[in-house]
Structure 1
Amino acid sequence: MCRLFGMSTGGPRVRAAHWLLDAPRSLRAQSHRMQHGAGLGWFSLGGEPVRDRAPLAAFENADFDLHARNVPSHTFVSHVRDASVGGLTVHNCHPFVMSDRLFAHNGVVKGLDVLRTWMTDVDRAHVAGETDSELVFAYVTAEIRRRGDTTAGIVEAVRRIAAELPVFSLNLLVAEAGRMWALRYPESNELWVLSPGEGGVSGPGRAAGTDGPVPAVVIASEPMDDRPGWRPLQPGELLTVDGLTETSFFPFDPLRHPLRRSDLSIREAASQATAPGTAGPPVAPGTRALTDTSAALSAVTSSGTSATVPSAQASSSAPSAAPSSASSGAPSVAAPVAVGAVPAVPSAVPRPSVPPEGFPSASAKPSDAAGSVAAALSGAARAGAVASNAVLSGATVSSGAGRVRAVASAAIPASGPA
């Protein structure tokens, strides 16, 4: 599945090279399994969000390496893509930028025609690509603007999506200059946090100072090294990070129209498969989990009809035909908002430096009765589950300082995850 990464230092500007490039399970290492695109977002000295992205795997993208090693910021959002909707174009790569915020998403949200009706033409004008992720971000942005508060806007948007649209997973990262929000919802895909009190730092090595490690909150789809302090977010947990202060909210009911893996198309199910090396119970001797895209697709196509991709193993134990694009938002920074004083967001739980035992989790029982939108779309997904993914011809373009890149453009089903 796609991989998310976020980091906040609370002020000091650092480089993210360790987690993006050098850690045992860095984002570059993970991109060998997620090769459809990579992007990195950060905040400039003026507080504007800036991002560079390309439909190219991080491990073969010279710009990704260059920015990871050289760009200093106090807040980062990065993403590697395993596509199942939209072509392999720069407009479909994460992170996205809207209204001075960065956004990245992992999961599947259907009912996109319904989602579009919730927004005005002005709201939709920000959308340049074809993914469910960008539409969700546009709706989240619209709700934040209506409510005048980022946390309340995220909560309201996710509540309505969860109540009215079919959802498999809605894991997301939203970042403003110095602030970050991370959501795991529901339990389908994991999301982890390494807090400063549990070993969270910007990188390894020398004593604190210029380019030395500083305390940091690190968020990732899987533990990126073997530090014991990694903690999985609970299903339904919205973690807010203001500087280095972490607060958890549990404001969401169970999904009204949950999607199962059997409801997804072949390509969607493959993109949500658990990756090798992630935390979880060991596979029994003599067996091998279908954990990557090629294995999942092979299992389905060899059966002649359909197959269920194994679900992600959850554990609470720690463990190119398109050029790259850089963009910047307007030079304004959102005014600080007290995280604990958010209207209509219950169950705020301040995070101490050491997480308490038996941290409560949100219920995730599926509803017995799915709505008409969920039923229709779920049926359509099953009907299309035998279609294979067609890859079209590649092309080359020049990018950067004389570099030449090649990438294949893919014809992928018109609704599903990014």
Structure 2
Amino acid sequence: MCRWIAYTGSPVTLDELLYKPANSLVMQSRHSRLGAEPTNGDGFGVGWYDEHSPTPGLFRSIEPAWSDANLREIAQHVRSGTVFAHVRATSGTAVQQTNCHPFRHDRWLFMHNGGIGGFAALKRDLQVAVAPELFPTIEGSTDSETLFHLALTFGLTDDPPRAVAEAIGVVEDVARRRGVPFPMQGTVAVTDGDRVWAIRYSSEGRSRSLFHNQDVAVLREQYPDNPVLHGLTDDTRVVVSEPLGDLKGAWLEVPESSCLVIGGGVQEIVPFAPVAPA
């Protein structure tokens, strides 16, 4: 469906994440190893935080990531310690800029790999559940943006895991009433620029792939001659749809039905389950 990367740690230029790794995100846009399809060419987006503004920068395009000259150009110059990037494979909605991830609301970025099954049949009920003051800010037509606005409705800015759990709970409740089995599929990433929450969940219990890096200090001991590892601080964390390379022991799978929480150089994995509406 899609591929994404969430990065927090030592400030790096975007090309260090998007182009330089052996299995970089741009490489995954053409030759995904673990995705539902090998090609993710229906647009891309990248969001980043810096000292110039309290809200993240955002660059999105409907061009395939591998052929966009503007992305290659800015990737060599934009530098950040918190980056979200996403390459899209549409599940049916239009290829347009407003449908490209990540989605932004004030300081918050949100991206999703997967989909809401039977979304066309569920869309009206789901969007009616979005808070009236948030509904006008839905710009595109994707299930992912609707899920983001449901999470915002349920308090994403106060408690992201709980808000996403309640949003998915509504999705599953509406789907049950509409006769749609296994509606939720995917991995979700949320950040406010300081912390990152990455959730892996599907109604069927067979979610899309998701990995995070082994501690840099551990890898540095195992590979003392690797120059890339010596250029990263110990608090660097990378969450990816699929590993960026083949370095043995570098990538750990995020368990099914769990939430990876990253902040202040510390990460933990906690159980995740939808919360049914009252």
- TM-score computed with the length of structure 2 as normaliser: 0.81
2:46 to 40, 45, 55: 40
- Structure 1: which 5+ residue stretches go unaligned? 256-418
1:55 and 2:62 are equivalent in the alignment: yes
Aligned-residue offset at 1:113: 1.6
Deviations 1:175-208 (A, max 9, x none): 11121111111223111111334549xxx73686
1:219 to 204, 227, 239: 239
Q: Which residue of 1 aligns with 2:223?
A: none
Bigger-Rg structure (1/2): 1
Q: May I ask how many residue pairs the two structures share in their alignment?
A: 246
Shift in CA distance, 74/162, structure 1 to aligned 2, threshold 3 Å: farther
Kept in 2, the 8 Å contact 1:81–1:93? The answer is yes
Shift in CA distance, 252/56, structure 1 to aligned 2, threshold 3 Å: same
1:95 and 2:75 are equivalent in the alignment: no
SS for the counterpart of 1:139 is: helix
Kept in 1, the 8 Å contact 2:187–2:207? The answer is no
Kept in 1, the 8 Å contact 2:48–2:82? The answer is yes
Q: Which residue of 2 aligns with 1:244?
A: 265
1:181 to 190, 193, 197: 197
Question: In 2, Cα distance between the equivalents of 1:103 and 1:141?
Answer: 10
1:79 and 2:86 are equivalent in the alignment: yes
Question: In 2, Cα distance between the equivalents of 1:182 and 1:207?
Answer: 23
Deviations 1:66-104 (A, max 9, x none): 232221111110000111232221111111101311111
1:159 and 2:169 are equivalent in the alignment: yes
Aligned-residue offset at 1:253: 5.8
Q: Which residue of 2 aligns with 1:320?
A: none
SS for the counterpart of 1:193 is: strand
Quick check: which one's strand share is greater? 2
SS for the counterpart of 1:75 is: strand
The residue type equivalent to 1:226 in the other structure is D
1:233 and 2:254 are equivalent in the alignment: yes
Shift in CA distance, 148/219, structure 1 to aligned 2, threshold 3 Å: closer
**Larger relative CO (CA 8 A, sep 6+): 1 or 2?**
1
Q: Which residue of 2 aligns with 1:285?
A: none
Kept in 1, the 8 Å contact 2:172–2:183? The answer is yes
Aligned-residue offset at 1:226: 0.8
Aligned-residue offset at 1:229: 2.4
1:125 and 2:136 are equivalent in the alignment: yes
Q: Which residue of 2 aligns with 1:389?
A: none
2:25 to 15, 24, 27: 27
Deviations 1:321-341 (A, max 9, x none): xxxxxxxxxxxxxxxxxxxxx
1:205 to 227, 230, 252: 227
Question: In 1, Cα distance between the equivalents of 2:263 and 2:6?
Answer: 13
1:136 and 2:142 are equivalent in the alignment: no
Shift in CA distance, 254/174, structure 1 to aligned 2, threshold 3 Å: closer
Shift in CA distance, 79/206, structure 1 to aligned 2, threshold 3 Å: closer
SS for the counterpart of 1:113 is: helix
Cα RMSD (Å): 2.3
Question: In 2, Cα distance between the equivalents of 1:241 and 1:140?
Answer: 19
The residue type equivalent to 1:237 in the other structure is S
1:326-341 map, 5 Å: none
The residue type equivalent to 1:24 in the other structure is A
